[in-house]
Amino acid sequence: MKRNIVITIARQYGSGGRTVGEMLANDLGIHYYDHELIKLASEESGINESLFLETDERCRKSGFFRKQINVYKGEIIGPESKEYTSEANLFNFQAKVLKKLAETTSCVIVGRAADFVLKDYDNVLSVFVHAPHDFLMEQAAKVKSLPEDELEKYIAKEDKYRAEYYEHHTGQKWTDAMNYDLCIDSSKLGFEKCVEAIKAHCRVRFGEDIFD
């Protein structure tokens, strides 16, 4: 690869965005980051990984993210502060890891509002993967054995959480196409062609020989 490039992927639940991300990373021979980001943030901060997971789950259950906006500004709170292990600072450390990755390696990153954190990097391509309701239901049913009405509620709940998480940390709407370089309907292309569409966009953006 001619230079380091990072592809961030935000996705609706059931759209296959994670699958597309994994396929893309495998195709390009670069690393794929999802839950591993929490481990890296733990190592960066010295804060136990379990605290990242517990805080995320507590905020999810309490509806914390919809109650307030706390736009990420790039700072890190020092260990001398009682806010060192706050939700905001845990996100700050995850963002710090994202920036290190963007500066040092080519990779695919799923979730974590990575498109916003890395918006000022010229080697980053941000993607949003979406699909119509019926396709989301069909794909979700492959991994969740739930009655149709319960599955519908589950999808809505997951996307609501993602939207609230994104808006809390960015002050922007998760589904706003203006936040992304490329929006893809996975139901129209299928996962393999989604990968090809992202690669094609990379060639237009970064040069035809970017993958040579």
pLDDT tens per residue across all 212 residues of the chain? 778 999 999 999 999 999 999 999 999 999 999 989 999 999 999 999 999 889 888 888 877 787 788 899 988 988 889 889 888 999 999 999 999 999 999 999 999 999 999 999 999 999 999 999 999 999 999 999 899 999 999 999 999 999 999 999 999 999 999 999 999 999 999 999 999 999 999 999 999 989 88
Query: Positive or negative, the Cα torsion across 56, 46, 84, 170?
Result: negative
Per-domain residue ranges of the chain? 6-202
Task: Please give the Cα distance from 176 to 67 (Å, whole number).
Answer: 20
91-to-50, 55, 95, 169, 178 alpha-carbon distances in Å? 14, 10, 6, 8, 23
pLDDT at 61 (0 to 100): 80
CATH 3.40.50.300 fits 6-202, yes or no: yes
pLDDT at 30 (0 to 100): 96
Structure tokens at 30: 């670069």
